[in-house]
Amino acid sequence: MSQPTLSAINLNSQSFKAPARRWPPELSIFLVLVGIALCFEGLGWMVRDQSFLGNPAGLLIMVLQVSEIGLIAIGVTMIIIAGGIDLSSGSVVALTAMVAASFAQSSDYARAVYPALTDMPAIVPIFMGLAVGALVGWINGTLIVKTAVPAFIVTLGMMVSARGLARFYTHGQPVSMLTEQYMWIGSGAKPVVVFLLTALLFHIVLRYTRFGKATYAIGGNPVAARVSGININRHQIWIYTLAGLLAGLAGVIASARAQTGQSGMGMSYELDAIAAAVIGGTSLSGGVGRITGTVIGALILGVISSGFTFLGIDSYIQEIIKGAIIVVAVVADQMRKKKR
């Protein structure tokens, strides 16, 4: 019997070699976050002779801002994983902020929106804000499912309509003089705690529950998901409803933090949320993404925005750079898709 050659032995040993260990995808995104923060730290000492990371007040403001966008981004991530898109979330923040604030006004204010409903317990305006957000999300999902109109068009129309409703609600007037109990929700680091707990909850839901697996299945292969028994229409309505609920939560926190409700709140938040999701590794083609990556993506946007403000860069230039970041993130997503 012939003996196996050395090349054959090497070939067999290579074929049985254990696969290389892959790093979690969030690690590379986190390293990018660290690198950006260190760059701003160095530029801070060079340009202003000050520390960017050693400014606790500035960092707290950044994290608080990230908390509002991050809550929206969690819902947007689920929608994108399922193969959809949502452009209405920023306007939903404004609408829910106005509605929630109108039920949280103090009796000391003579021009309250609802004079007979002043000094309400904080749970009432919170519930109203969440309910309005969930209703808008349900309308989005139902229209997409029942009419077969692309999600881009439906949510674009809702973006305009919700912003108009926010302005019409009080004819453009801000809602002021909120109760101390309601404003307590947005004080200190409470928005950050809410954001992190919400992110943890939906991370568990997406990774370890049937609902999460169905979400990935729908975005990855809708035909196979339908054949496997998943009710795609009902599931999509649920996803958009949850995303609207999270946008409503962001609106409640925004109004409590600002101590007022204004129709201009949440402007361009939908773009920041989409950018955070894509930067965090969520594929616009659907089926791929994690909440942990979205959290890091939101932090990256927050660090960039705060860093530019720290360096005194004009806000218009910041918008240009932010737009470029969104384009680069989409290009990177397409490159990842081709590799897969």
pLDDT per residue as tens digits for the range 197-213: 999 999 999 999 999 99
Are 199 and 74 in contact by the 8 Å Cβ rule? The answer is yes
pLDDT class for 310, splitting at 50, 70, 90?
confident
Q: What confidence tens digit (pLDDT) does each residue in 138-147 have?
A: 999 999 999 9
Q: Specify the pLDDT at position 261.
A: 93
Tell me the torsion sign for CA atoms 162, 167, 169, 174: positive
- DSSP-derived letter for residue 254 is H
- Mean pLDDT over 282-304 rounds to 91
Mean pLDDT of 295-314: 87
Number of neighbouring beta carbons within 10 Å of residue 138:
17
Partner residues linked to 178 by β-bridges: 105
- For 33-56, the pLDDT digits (tens) are 888 888 888 887 887 878 887 777
More confident residue, 83 or 12: 83
If one compares 19 and 270, the residue with the highest pLDDT of the two is 270
> Which of 78-82, 263-267, 305-309 ranks highest by mean pLDDT?
78-82
- 151-205, pLDDT tens digit by residue? 999 999 999 999 999 999 998 899 999 999 999 999 888 999 999 999 999 999 9
According to the CATH classification, is domain 24-37+48-339 in 1.10.3470?
yes
Buried b (16+ CB within 10 A) or exposed e, 57-85: ebbeebbbbbbbbbbbbbbbbbbbbbbbb
Res 13: pLDDT: 44
What's the pLDDT band for 11 if we cut at 50, 70, 90? very low
Q: What is the pLDDT of residue 28?
A: 80
Mean pLDDT of the chain: 87
Q: Look at residue 44 in the predicted model and tell me its pLDDT.
A: 79
Q: What is the CA radius of gyration of the chain?
A: 23
> Residue 193 has which token pair?
């705690």
pLDDT at 58 over 90: no
Which whole number is the average pLDDT over 92-111? 92
pTM equals 0.88
Q: What is the dihedral angle through the alpha carbons of 251, 260, 98, 248, rounded to the nearest 10 degrees? A: 10
Residue 166 to residue 164: CA distance in whole angstroms: 5
Which pLDDT score, from 0 to 100, does residue 252 have?
A: 96
Residue type, 123: I
Q: Which residues, at least 6 apart from 222, have a Cβ–Cβ distance to it below 8 Å? A: 83, 232
Q: Select from 294, 308, 338, 305 the least CA-distant residue to 29.
A: 294
Q: What is the pLDDT of residue 340?
A: 61
* The pLDDT of residue 293 is above 70: yes
Max Cα distance, the chain (Å): 102
Task: Answer yes or no: is pLDDT of 12 > 60.
Answer: no
Q: Which two tokens stand for residue 274?
A: 């989409």
pLDDT band at 22 (very low <50, low <70, confident <90, very high): low
Show the CA angle centred on residue 32, arms to residues 318 and 36, nearest 5°: 45
Half-sphere exposure of residue 284: CA atoms within 13 angstroms, side-chain side: 20
